[in-house]
Structure 1
Amino acid sequence: MSPRGVTIPEVRQQLFDAAERILLREGPSGLTSRAITREAGVAAGLLHNHFGDLDSFLAALFVDRARTATVRLRGLATQAGSGAVVDNVMVTIEPLFAGNLLALGGLALARPSIVSKLGEAHSEGALELDASERVIADYLAAEQQLGRVPLGADTASIALALVGAAHQLLLTRGPHAPDLRERIRRVADALLTP
């Protein structure tokens, strides 16, 4: 534990990382202020000192991890003209199926109290809910200019359909669901293969 009054460098990330570990290990029900600070190895009141309450902290965690995922997505534009279009799109969509992003999606569903805080973050510009859709649409438009996506294709609608399908599959998957990657790849093939 850190002594009272001692500054802890990067405490936000330390708390975020601890919360993410708990979320992956125990699910949303394991996320308490005490469990998070204990996991992070910091004083019990530190989370509340920095974030005010647990819901504000969890919303900030969600925004932080969404921002990190968005930064990773931006590399798709550099892929225009190389590889197969469906393969490039899949590389962008597959991180949505990673354990931590799945768990964060479950967190938003399990704790509706953070949804209003996420809405505030979105209205303030801190959370880009449509980032993956925009990145994929821009990539497909670039491929369209190169003749690798048909000229008449509505790239914005295809991007929306791909992201919407990924979200639907994530939110409705059950314990016996077929492989998510295989299902979204079939959707991508159907939408992008002339």
Structure 2
Amino acid sequence: MPTGQPLPDARNVLLQAGRRVLAAQGPGALNSRAVTASSGVAKGVLHRHFTDFDDYLGALVAEEARRIESIEPLVADSASAAVTDVLEQIFTPTMLGLASIVLSREGLRRRLRRDESPEVPLFAEATSVVADVLAAEREVGWIAEDADIPALALILVGSAHLLYVSAGEAQPAHDAIDRIVQWTLP
């Protein structure tokens, strides 16, 4: 795009470019040059809208956290079906790529933490969503009344993350995720 041309909604254009880079090339390829090349803008445009690259990554993570927080089960005929569905919605290639970046960049993690919390961004939101689903399932009697919802949510999110990471480029089979969920739920 020529210099001097106004770019409507430049922040969104840049954030979508980052998502494209993550999807096509993975987290190792996500840098300011790749983002500006993918969006077709000069590097200065990125720095006009974000103080530095960590600020840009923080915006991408915040956008992904909002997506995760809005997840609700699409399938709800059993506790395991609902939780499996939610986990499959949480662990997208974009989330996994951003999670890898967050885990490897301490400075970014510090910026993103709320109130000096030790929680890891994206995983905290994922755990909260899974805990909400488990609590709702406990209300309808699908999960034992004395179930430790916070612990179950942590176990499920951690186990699913390991399953997705070990699957690499291929997504784990639905049955593999469902087996973990069924094994974990009381």
Greater displacement, 115-124 / 155-164: 115-124
Output the CA distance in 2 between the equivalents of 1:119 and 1:170. Answer: 25
Aligned to 1:191: 184
Larger radius of gyration: 1
1:165 corresponds to: 159
What's the TM-score once normalised by structure 2's chain length? 0.81
Q: Of 140, 146, 150, which residue of structure 1 is paired with 2:134?
A: 140
Match in the other structure for 1:122: 113
The 1:165–1:29 alpha-carbon spacing in structure 2 relative to 1, beyond 3 Å, is closer
Alignment partners' CA distance in 2, 1:162 and 1:51: 35
| Distance (Å, rounded) in 1 between the aligned partners of 2:124 and 2:49 | 28
Q: Is the 8 A contact 1:166 1:184 kept in 2?
A: yes
Q: Does structure 2 conserve the Cα–Cα contact (< 8 Å) formed by 1:2 and 1:41?
A: no
Taking the aligned partners of 2:63 and 2:85, their CA distance within structure 1 comes to 21
Map 1:100-111 onto structure 2 (within 5 A).
100-109=94-103
CA offset at residue 29 of structure 1?
A: 3.5
Matches within 5 A, 1:28-67: 28-67=27-66
Q: TM-score, normalised by structure 1?
A: 0.78
**In structure 1, what is the Cα distance between the partners aligned to 2:129 and 2:171?**
27
The number of residue pairs the alignment matches comes to: 182
Give the CA RMSD over aligned residues. 2.8
AA partner of residue 59 (structure 2): A
CA distance in 2, matches of 1:170, 1:120: 26
Query: 2:146 and 2:53 mapped to 1: Cα distance?
Result: 48
Residues 122 and 128, structure 1, Cα contact 8 Å, conserved in 2? no
Unaligned stretches of 5+ in structure 1?
none
- Residue 189 of structure 1, CA deviation: 0.5
